[in-house]
């Protein structure tokens, strides 16, 4: 069973909703800090119309507030250091940090602040929020799967989520590109985002 309770019918009385909440879900309610050492913030872009290039950010911090009895009260926050981008190529990373793309000297941080959380049933959830890149803020929706909760050997209470989303980078002003002789462009506008999050409950 997931971290959030499934949505009840609009006709269900409040008392029935309260009974439906499993005690183990309520026990997970609290504030959590994302563990960067065991989390991944990644992305995938289409290159030259023929292959996918994957990358990730190595330096980030974030927090979660989980509410096991009221999913809508759950929140998430992320701050990502843009200079920490890593695609496995120093030259490509340098280009991505430049004025053609992320302008990291001027805009060192990308942020996400949630505005809405929903339980979809089973282990599936959806979180909507504001993503800020290059000083431009636009909404995105992230589909999440709850991977479970556990206490690690060091006594930390952990929860895990996997998530995915798609954005058009041009909507955040990331418009650099180059035309191919065979047609099409060098870098896709559509970017796939993927998240693998481990978070530790605050003491």
Residue-level pLDDT at 64 = 97
Torsion of CA 199, 105, 139, 119, to 10 degrees: -10
DSSP state for residue 179 in the 8-state scheme: B
Is 42 within 8 Å of 193 (Cβ atoms)?
A: yes
The Cα 189–Cα 171 span in angstroms is 9
Is 165 within 8 Å of 42 (Cβ atoms)?
A: no
pLDDT digits (tens, 9 = 90+) for 110-145: 999 999 999 988 889 999 999 999 999 999 999 999
The Cβ-side half-sphere exposure at 20, using a 13 Å CA radius, reads: 13
Residue-level pLDDT at 24 = 65
Is 52 within 8 Å of 8 (Cβ atoms)?
A: no
Residue-level pLDDT at 27 = 83
Q: Collect all residues with Cβ–Cβ distance below 8 Å to 69 and sequence separation of at least 6.
A: 5, 18, 21, 25, 26, 29
Which token pair is 40?
Answer: 């991944």
Residue-level pLDDT at 122 = 84
Q: Which residues of the chain have pLDDT under 70?
A: 1-25
The Cα 41–Cα 43 span in angstroms is 7
Surface-to-core class of residue 92, CB atoms within 10 Å of its CB (0-12 exposed, 13-18 middle, 19+ buried): middle
The Cα 175–Cα 188 span in angstroms is 10
Count of other CB atoms within 10 angstroms of residue 14:
8
* Residue owning tokens 């991505």: 96
Residue-level pLDDT at 23 = 60
Residue-level pLDDT at 29 = 94
The Cα 135–Cα 10 span in angstroms is 39
């Amino acid at each position: 069973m997931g971290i959030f309770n499934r949505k009840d019918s609009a006709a269900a009385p409040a008392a029935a909703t309260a009974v439906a909440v499993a005690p183990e879900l309520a026990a997970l309610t609290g504030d959590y800090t994302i563990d960067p050492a065991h989390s991944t913030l990644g992305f995938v872009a289409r290159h030259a119309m023929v292959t996918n290039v994957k990358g990730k950010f190595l330096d980030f911090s974030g927090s979660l507030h989980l509410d096991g009895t009221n999913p809508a009260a759950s929140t998430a926050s992320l701050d990502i250091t843009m200079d920490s981008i890593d695609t496995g190529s120093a030259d490509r990373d340098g280009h991505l940090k430049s004025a053609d793309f992320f302008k990291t000297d001027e805009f060192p941080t990308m942020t996400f602040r949630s505005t809405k959380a929903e339980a979809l049933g089973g282990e599936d959830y959806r979180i909507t929020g504001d993503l800020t890149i290059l000083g431009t803020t636009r909404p995105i929706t992230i589909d999440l799967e709850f991977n479970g909760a556990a206490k690690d050997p060091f006594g930390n209470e952990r929860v895990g989520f996997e998530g995915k989303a798609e954005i058009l980078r041009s909507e955040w002003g990331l418009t650099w590109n180059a035309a191919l002789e065979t047609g099409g462009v060098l870098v896709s506008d559509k970017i796939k985002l993927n998240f693998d999050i481990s978070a530790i409950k605050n003491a």
